[in-house]
Amino acid sequence: MDVAAMAERLREEERVISSRIERVSGEARDAGDDGVRDSGDAAVLSENTDDRLRGTEMDRGVLSQIRAALARIDAGTYGACVIDGEPIEEARLEAVPWTPYCLEHQEMQERATTL
């Protein structure tokens, strides 16, 4: 696995998500009631803003994971499962480069949160 290429990919994803968060947050602040004609329009505007902000919260979670992956690269532990230190499958890292878990431990984490 080319860790330098993965680091660049993560940094690019970090830039994209950070920009999107800033843009959406700015749009939400500026969404005011300009042009709102009635309470129905206001409700739709509010719902649209809420949807965008929910997406931003998900982006913030991914951004946090990306930054943690970059820290693992700096520490020399990238590509190792944070649970047992065993290698994370390369195909998994290609699909989700910020993942801290091998597939087995990811599934365990998901089962634990659904109980």
Structural domains counted in the chain: 1
pLDDT beyond 70 at 102: yes
The amino acid at residue 21 is I
Q: Write out the H or E segment, with its range, that includes residue 95.
A: helix 90-95
With contact defined as beta carbons under 8 Å apart, do 95 and 102 qualify?
Answer: no
pLDDT tens digits, 22-81:
998 888 776 654 555 666 655 555 566 666 667 789 999 999 999 999 999 999 999 999
Amino acid 28: pLDDT: 72
Amino acid 40: pLDDT: 62
pTM confidence score = 0.77
Amino acid 59: pLDDT: 94
Give me 104's structure tokens. 């087995």
Domain of residue 14, residue span: 3-114
* CA-to-CA dists, residue 28 to 25, 37, 63, angstroms: 5, 18, 19
| In the block, residue with structure tokens 């009635």 | 38
Instruction: Please name which of 18, 113, 8 lies closest in space to residue 69, comparing C-alpha atoms.
Output: 8
Q: Residue 90 is part of a domain; what is its CATH number?
A: 1.20.120.910
pLDDT beyond 80 at 88: yes
